[in-house]
Structure 1
Amino acid sequence: MNPHSSEASADINSLAEFLADSELSDLSSVSPVDCIIVCASQVLYGAEKIFETLQSRPHTTKYLVLCGGIGHSTNLLYDSVRSHPRYSTLSDTLHGLPEARVLEHILDAFFDRARITAEGCQILVEDRSTNCGQNAMFSRQILEQAGVVAPTTCIINQDPTMMLRTKASFEKAYQALSSPVSFLSYPGFVPAVQVRQGELIYTSPAATTGLWTPERFLELLLGEVPRLRDDKDGYGPHGRNFISHVDILRSVEMAWSRLSVMFKDHKLR
C-alpha cells in the first residue's frame, strides 16, 4: 500500500477511533457523576470542554481531579500553552510546574472557578504521577483522602491516543472493589486525518490547537496497540499487569500491521 493513499488515511483513522474510545462526545447533557478526572496532556481541548461544562453545569460532578506530575512529555504541554491563542500569556509562569498545576492555572485564569465550586464541586489536584498507571493509583489516593472510597461513576479525560489505555489503568486500580466503578471515556474529540501528497492533514473539526506533529501522532498510535495487547509483552493481566484486559478488534490489528510496515521506511511531512 502506498503511504500517500486513502487506504493509509483509513487505517490511521481506524486506529485513532479505537484508541480514543469515545463513550461521551458531549458533556452538556450528561447525567451527574461522582468524579471527573482530567489527565493532563499536550492536547488541551478536552480539559477546556470540561471546564466550560462545569461553569454552566457545576452539578455535573461532585469532584474534579486535575492529574499529572512532571514526565517525559511535560515539555509538550508547555509548548501547547506557549502557542495557544489564549493561554500563551501564562507561559512563563507555568514553565516548570507539574502538569496538573498547569491545568489549575488555566482554570483559574480563564474559567470561573468560584462558580464551579460554589455549588459543591470540589477541585482536587494530583501532581505527582508520571504515567497512566500512576494517574490512576494517585488519583484514587487523592479521592480517598477526600472521602471518596468507592465512586460509582467517573468520567476520565486523556489525550485521545491514550484514552483507552488510561481507562484500563483506572479499571485496574479499582478492580478489587466489591462494586465495580463505571468509568466513561471522554477524549474530547476523535482525531481524523487525510494523507495528501505524503502530508498528514488533520480533518477533526473540534480541536485545532496543540495537536501532535505527524511523526508523534503516528508514533503514539503505533505504540499503543502493543501496550494494550494482553500477552507476555503487553500491559494486560497476562503481561506486565498494568491495565485491565482490553479486547483488540481484528480490524485494528490488521490496520496496525499495515501501518507498521508502511511507515517503517516512509516518513510523513
Structure 2
Amino acid sequence: MNTLIAKNLNILIDFLAKRDLTALSPDELQAKYKINQADLLILFGGSIPEGTDVFAKAHQQNIAKNYLLVGGAGHTTEALRQKMQSSLADIDISTKSEAEIFALYLKNKYNITDCLLETKSTNCGNNITNALELLKNLDLKPKSIIFMQDATMQNRMDAGFRKYCPCDTTLINYATYKVHFTVQNDKLCLEQNNIWQMWNIDKYIELLMGEIPRLTDNINGYGPQGKDFIAHVDIPQEVHSAYQYLYQHLNIKTRQANSLYATK
C-alpha cells in the first residue's frame, strides 16, 4: 500500500511544485523566454529556509534586474523563526517578519543587501496584492517576474498572480524545492535530499493535501466559483483521483476540509 501512497503523493507534488524552468539560470531563461535577465525575482514567505539559498544563487547569477522579499507574519512565521534562528545566532528575530528574516540571512551569509522588502502581508493572497502595490508605489512595471514559493504552494501562487497581475506580464514559476516520496523496506519516506529544514513527512503530506481543496474551483475552494481569491485552476483528473485515494487511505487533518471529497 505504501507504494501506491507514494505514487499518489508524487502526483500531487508534480502538480503543485510548478517550475517553468529546469534550472534557475540565465541560460535557461534565454532558452525558454529569449531573455537573459528577468525584470524581477520574488521570494515569498511561506517557503522553508532552503528558498533563501536558491534565491541567493540566482542573485549571484544576476538572474533579475530587481529583487523582492515578501512576507509579514502568518501561520508559517513562527516555524521560520525557529528554523532560521541558529543561522542568525547573534540577532533576535523573535518579532521579525518573514521578509526581514530572509533579508538578514541573505546579508549575513551572502552580503546581499539590495532586496526590496514587503513586510505586512499575512497570507498568499495579500502576499501578491501587497507586492504589486509596492511595485506600483515605486513605479516599477516589470514585464517578466520569476516568483518562488514553497513547493506545496507554488501552484496557488501562480493562480494568484494570474488573477491580479497585468495580463502582458510574463510569469515564471520556480518552486524553491521539489522532493518526492519513495518506499524503502516497505516504509514511506522522502527521497534522499539535502534540502535545508525540509518539512517532516507528516507536515509535508498535510500541506500537500491541503492545497487540492483550495485549488478546486467550487463553492468551497479559492477559485472564482468560491472565495474568488485566485484565478481558475485546471486540476487534471489524475490529480483528483490521487487526492481521493489519499483522502481515503491517510488520516490527515488539513487546514481546510472540502465536502467534495468527504466519503466517510
Shift of the 228–101 alpha-carbon distance from structure 1 to 2, 3 Å rule, reads: same
- The question of 1:13 aligning with 2:10 is answered yes
Alignment partners' CA distance in 2, 1:185 and 1:212? 21
Describe how 1:208-223 pairs up with structure 2 within 5 A: 208-223=195-210
CA distance in 1, matches of 2:158, 2:239: 18
When normalised by structure 2's length, the TM-score is: 0.86
Tell me if 1:169 matches 2:160: yes
Match of 1:147 in 2: 139
Between the aligned partners of 2:183 and 2:214, the Cα distance in structure 1 is: 26
Change (3 A) 1:21 1:265: closer
> Which residue of the partner structure matches residue 236 of structure 2?
249
Q: How many residues align?
A: 245
Superposed displacement of residue 251, structure 1: 0.5
**Separation (CA, whole Å) in 2 of partners of 1:105 and 1:262:** 42
Does the Cα contact within 8 Å between 1:193 and 1:204 map onto a contact in 2? no
Contact 1:42 1:210 in 2 (8 A): no
Residue 261 of structure 2 corresponds to none
Counterpart in the other structure of 2:97: 98
Residue in 2 aligned with 1:125?
117
Distance in 1 separating the partners of 2:22 and 2:54: 11
SS at match of 1:76: helix
Distance 2:155 2:163 in 1: 12
The aligned counterpart of 1:77 is 80
Which residue of structure 1 lines up, in the alignment, with residue 175 of structure 2?
A: 187
Q: Single out whichever of 33-42 and 95-104 deviates more from structure 2.
A: 33-42
Unaligned stretches of 5+ residues in structure 2: 30-35, 254-264
Match of 2:151 among 160, 174, 185: 160
Q: Is the contact between residue 71 and residue 122 of structure 2 (CA under 8 Å) also seen in structure 1?
A: yes
Q: Is the Cα contact below 8 Å between 1:46 and 1:188 reproduced in 2?
A: yes
- Superposed displacement of residue 197, structure 1: 6.1
- One-letter code aligned to 1:11: N
Q: Write the letter of the residue equivalent to 1:51.
A: A
Instruction: State percent identity of aligned pairs.
Output: 29
Aligned-residue offset at 1:43: 1.3
SS in 1 for 2:153: helix
Provide the C-alpha distance between the structure 1 equivalents of 2:104 and 2:187, rounded to a whole number of angstroms.
35
Instruction: Determine if contact 2:47/2:176 at 8 Å carries over to the other structure.
Output: no
Does the CA contact (< 8 Å) of 1:194 and 1:200 recur in 2? yes
What CA distance in whole angstroms lies between the structure 2 residues aligned with 1:200 and 1:81?
28
Match of 1:120 in 2: none
Per mean C-alpha deviation after superposition, the further-off stretch among 20-29 and 32-41 is: 20-29
Does the aligned pair in 2 maintain the 1:124–1:142 contact within 8 Å? no
Q: RCO greater where, 1 or 2, for CA within 8 Å and sep 6 or more?
A: 1
CA separation of 1:265 and 1:94: change in aligned 2, threshold 3 A:
closer
Match of 1:51 in 2: 56
2:24 paired residue number: 27
- Paired residue type of 2:206: E
Q: Give the whole-Å Cα distance in 2 for the aligned partners of 1:42 and 1:20.
A: 12
CA distance, structure 2, for counterparts of residue 103 and residue 199 of structure 1: 35
TM-score of the aligned structures, taking structure 1 as reference length: 0.84
Q: CA-to-partner distance for each residue in 1:85-113, whole Å, 9 max, x for gaps? A: xx2535x5222200000000011101132
Per-residue deviation, residues 60-100 of structure 1 (Å, max 9, x unmatched): 212111000011111111122146xxx2535x522220000
Residue equivalent to 1:66: 69
**Alignment-derived partner of residue 259 in structure 2:** none
Amino acid at match of 1:79: Q
Q: Distance in 2 between matches of 1:198 and 1:219?
A: 21
- 234, 241, 250: which one pairs with 1:263? 250
